Structure 1
């Protein structure tokens, strides 16, 4: 499965190149080693040898090459001399070329400007020591990592972007990330991480970390001891059951918090989301809770303390009721996404513009609306509210029978009546 992912990534990169050659790309004036293509593309002197059947690094690569793409071949070994003259090389793509731990000689990638390397889709069981010490970006997807060791990154202190997706990592040793003081973005999704995989203070030295994705692991709790620099946290697809009280107080810069395809449930209400008692998410934040995580009522207490939240995504749940004051704590709410739920009716108090003065955008399509007189106000709001109710052509009535299946752009408020 993972090899297919690497193949797909390589194929898409190649396709993107081919589709854009007529837009800003042109042939390099230098002789190009066959069967490669030498282009000036997106501001870089580039050599594309991906998926050409080569079994070694081609000879005669121009010395001014800045990007070298070798992915999708069967290159058994890279020696020190293979790239020695590429003093301008900045980006090197080596995904899915069959690399093993001893396939690259130490020093072979020791190039003065090399800062971006893609090692995805190879047969590597540890972070190799032969990578460029000047590296800023490393893609290491779809290898065979099971553990991150305390010495995994000791040579790579300049790293800012690290992607370890689609491995089988289940353990992180203490101090693993300590050398990465410049790290800003860390992806570790689709691994085997549990709560015990993360030792205490594992991110203590990462004072520049902003984005952390641990989606589709086996976490049951949110991570602790994250640096205050964090702006984006992605917990999608874990097994988290509760967001702890004041669990985000130490993250004053948090802007995006994502949960879906998992389950966040409460111990004191019947909804499947709990923020407990909190006042720690008061900055401008986007909260995404999607895909069958909320299965009942959004109560007047559900969002207590989230006064700084600007955007909330509640799509693709099973919400059946939104209590009249449920959104009132969200004093900064700008956009509400509540498509594809089970809401049949809504009180006019629920979207009161005086209580929600910042509200500008609402998505409510995909619900089984009962279009009677109690919902007339909402159809009127499509035309006259301060906020915009998006896509009325997608909002349809499930009942009463005369209106079933009709879209709101085809109906007038006067169509919404109750039987006497």
Structure 2
């Protein structure tokens, strides 16, 4: 069986790299050196260090073979899928210059409180695919400089109030593909500098009115692929969002107050939300909106969007459009602006026709199909 190098050896190597970098008068391009460790004075191939790359311009070790078990003390820790690994403090307390730490695919992993204590320069922490379940209180203690945290795909069902409290400078948080069902008031407490939040593909059905009060600087919010049945207007209207994605939820109706205060919104995605009705003036306050996605819903008509002066891209494909006089504005818009094709489903005479390619017939006094005024002809 191959001998395992000691943590002390790893730390010595990293310390040597750090010293060389500090003593260099000017930055040099990254150089990669293949390293083997010694055990009892004999050169051996080790499970992680064989074929690893040590970058002299930064404290980083990359082990490309995912099935081999790296040791604590490296920047990229990627044990095999079946390893149960308890980190007493990750034995990383000496790595004060480390800026990025990747902990991916470790199987069921147990992190104790203050597991990352001492990583004073850490900016990026990747903890995806670890099957964490839940986050222990105090796990992020001492990480006030962290800028980005990835917790994707960890089966997280609940986050205790105060969990993120130490992360005073966190700008980006990924919580995709977890099991969250409810966003409560204090879930994001302490994240005063958060700019973007990814909550895609959870099971979120409820969002508290004050869920986003702590991260008041949030600019990008991704909630697609959840179980929302209405727009969480009370929660989001306190924010100055530039991007909001609510796609692939179960939102059947849009009211004229749902987005009323989102005056800085540039991109709104509502594709695949089972929309049936959009109230008049639902988007009237979105004067900066450039992209609107209403694709793949159950819309048959849509109020005029003429009050959106900045609108550049409109996605309406995949809806059962009823091409009558109420869509005259849209007939003009799709010919002049950048839009995906809009295909009529009814009346029968226009089924399958592109809206922009039909001819508008001046409306007289008659009523068309189902007592709906008709003004389109092939």
Deviation at 1:216, TM superposition (A): 1.6
Match of 1:92 in 2: 61
Deviation at 1:319, TM superposition (A): 0.5
> 1:9-408, aligned counterparts within 5 Å?
44-46=30-32, 57-58=35-36, 75-76=46-47, 78=49, 87-88=56-57, 90-100=59-69, 104=71, 117-120=75-78, 122=80, 123=83, 125-127=85-87, 128-129=90-91, 132-195=95-158, 198-222=159-183, 223-265=187-229, 272-276=230-234, 279-281=237-239, 283-294=240-251, 296-348=252-304, 351-353=305-307, 356-384=308-336, 388-391=337-340, 394-408=341-355
Q: Give yes or no for contact 1:369–1:396 (8 Å, CA) kept in 2.
A: yes
Equivalent-residue separation in structure 2 for 1:85 and 1:93 (angstroms): 7
SS across alignment from 1:147 = strand
Runs of 5+ unmatched residues, structure 1:
1-42, 50-56, 60-73, 110-116, 266-271
Q: Give yes or no for contact 1:150–1:175 (8 Å, CA) kept in 2.
A: yes
Deviation at 1:263, TM superposition (A): 0.9
Runs of 5+ unmatched residues, structure 2:
1-28, 38-44
Q: Give yes or no for contact 2:98–2:121 (8 Å, CA) kept in 1.
A: yes
Equivalent-residue separation in structure 2 for 1:126 and 1:378 (angstroms): 59
Equivalent-residue separation in structure 2 for 1:96 and 1:180 (angstroms): 29
Are the structure 2 counterparts of residues 120 and 86 from structure 1 closer, same or farther at C-alpha, using a change threshold of 3 Å? closer
Equivalent-residue separation in structure 2 for 1:85 and 1:239 (angstroms): 41
Between stretches 303-312 and 152-161, larger displacement belongs to 303-312
What TM-score do the two structures reach when normalised by structure 1?
A: 0.68
Are the structure 2 counterparts of residues 409 and 331 from structure 1 closer, same or farther at C-alpha, using a change threshold of 3 Å? closer
Are the structure 2 counterparts of residues 119 and 95 from structure 1 closer, same or farther at C-alpha, using a change threshold of 3 Å? farther
Match of 1:112 in 2: none
Equivalent-residue separation in structure 2 for 1:174 and 1:390 (angstroms): 48
Runs of 4+ aligned structure 1 residues displaced above 6 Å come to 82-86
Deviation at 1:176, TM superposition (A): 1.3
User: C-alpha deviations, 1:13-43, integer Å up to 9, x for none?
Assistant: xxxxxxxxxxxxxxxxxxxxxxxxxxxxxx5
Q: Give yes or no for contact 1:149–1:172 (8 Å, CA) kept in 2.
A: no
Deviation at 1:300, TM superposition (A): 1.8
User: C-alpha deviations, 1:43-78, integer Å up to 9, x for none?
Assistant: 53346x8xxxxxxx458xxxxxxxxxxxxxx94254
Deviation at 1:279, TM superposition (A): 4.2
SS across alignment from 1:309 = coil
Deviation at 1:90, TM superposition (A): 4.5
Are the structure 2 counterparts of residues 120 and 404 from structure 1 closer, same or farther at C-alpha, using a change threshold of 3 Å? farther
Equivalent-residue separation in structure 1 for 2:140 and 2:54 (angstroms): 33
Q: Give yes or no for contact 1:183–1:206 (8 Å, CA) kept in 2.
A: yes
